[in-house]
Amino acid sequence: MIPSDLRYTKEHEWVRVEGDVATVGITQHAADQLGDIVFVELPEPGRVLAQFATFGVVESVKAVSDLFAPVAGEVLEGNASLLATPEVVNSDPYGTGWMLRIRLSDRSQLEQLLDAAAYEALTAEG
């Protein structure tokens, strides 16, 4: 259910690190809680984010929720396809529903994130 190769924030973002590039999205749990996602607002490339800074907003039919950067770095790319098809965040949050690619500035920040087991425990608490 919860991919074991990712790291997670307590605010339900995930991050996948490949080389010095971090790909960021929200978890299935978060997408399920929000319900039908209709809008994702993402930062422009070049913006530099601090760890745990707000980087955007996700809106479902019923709710609006801030997005937090799991790691610091420069925004390389937002997922432009979410403009036309935000619903893929619900259907494929760890794949085509990714949101942001960041150039990782400090790998040690990953240690401040949850692993899959810790994140699963967090969501199990309700």
Partner 1 sequence: MTEIALPTDGSRATPLLSRHVALGARMIDFGGWQMPVQYTSILNEHRAVRERAGLFDLSHMGELFVEGPDAGPALAGALVTDPTSLEVGRAHYSMICAPDGGVIDDLIVYRLAEDRFLVVANASNAPVVSDALVERIEASRSILDDGSLATALVAVQGPAARGILGPLTDVNLATLRYYAIAEGVVAGMPALVARTGYTGEDGFEVFVDNAAAGELWDILLGAGAPSGLVPVGLGARDTLRLEAGMPLYGNELDRSTTPFEAGLGRVVKLAKAGNFVGREALTRAAKAGPRRLLVGLAVRGRGIARHGYPVWAGDRRAGIVTSGTQSPTLGLPIAMAYVAPGDAVMGTMLEVEIRDTRAVAEVVPLPFYSRAR
Report H helices in 3-115: 28-34, 81-84, 88-91
Name which of 26 and 71 has its Cβ closer to partner 1: 26
CB of 113 to partner 1, least distance (A): 26
Site residues for partner 1 per CB under 8 A? 35-36, 38-39, 41, 57, 59-62, 64, 83, 90
**CA dist., res. 40 & res. 37, Å (int):** 8
* Distance (Å) of CA 9 to CA 59, 62, 66, 82, 85: 19, 23, 13, 21, 25
CB of 66 to partner 1, least distance (A): 9
**CA dist., res. 7 & res. 17, Å (int):** 9
Name which of 92 and 115 has its Cβ closer to partner 1: 92
**CA dist., res. 123 & res. 11, Å (int):** 10
CB of 23 to partner 1, least distance (A): 22
CB of 50 to partner 1, least distance (A): 18
Structure tokens at 12: 């339900």
Name which of 41 and 115 has its Cβ closer to partner 1: 41
Name which of 69 and 104 has its Cβ closer to partner 1: 69
